[in-house]
Amino acid sequence: MSAAKEYVFPDNDLTRFAPGLEVVEVPGDHDSMVLEPNVRVLAARMRAVIAAAEAGPSNVVALATAAE
């Protein structure tokens, strides 16, 4: 994050350590993404990623990021 509180790397520069990382934007910020109603969107995205991982051998990893 920059001094202006802007995301410099949407993935927080984690893909260089985890190349299969998928960034998923969800509504809210760091705190409010886990509160109603934003947590419903977060949960739905997480359910979809977990279901996809259980369905096949793909190494899907998702990082939910807050969309401000």
| pLDDT for position 57 | 67
20 CB-near residues (< 8 Å, 6+ apart): 59, 60, 61
Q: With the CA atoms of 40, 8, 16 and 54 taken in that order, what torsion angle do they form, in degrees rounded to the nearest 10? A: 10
Q: Answer whether residue 41 is part of any domain.
A: yes
Q: Answer whether residue 2 is part of any domain.
A: no
| pLDDT for position 23 | 86
**Residue 57 — φ and ψ, nearest 5°?**
-80, 5
| pLDDT for position 21 | 85
| Intra-chain end-to-end CA distance of the chain, in Å | 13
Q: What is the total count of domains within the chain?
A: 1
| pLDDT for position 68 | 52
Outline where the chain has alpha helix (H): 38-55
Q: Answer whether residue 19 is part of any domain.
A: no
Q: Would you write out the chain's pLDDT as a tens digit for each of its 68 residues?
A: 567 767 678 888 888 999 888 888 899 988 999 999 999 999 999 999 899 888 886 555 555 556 65
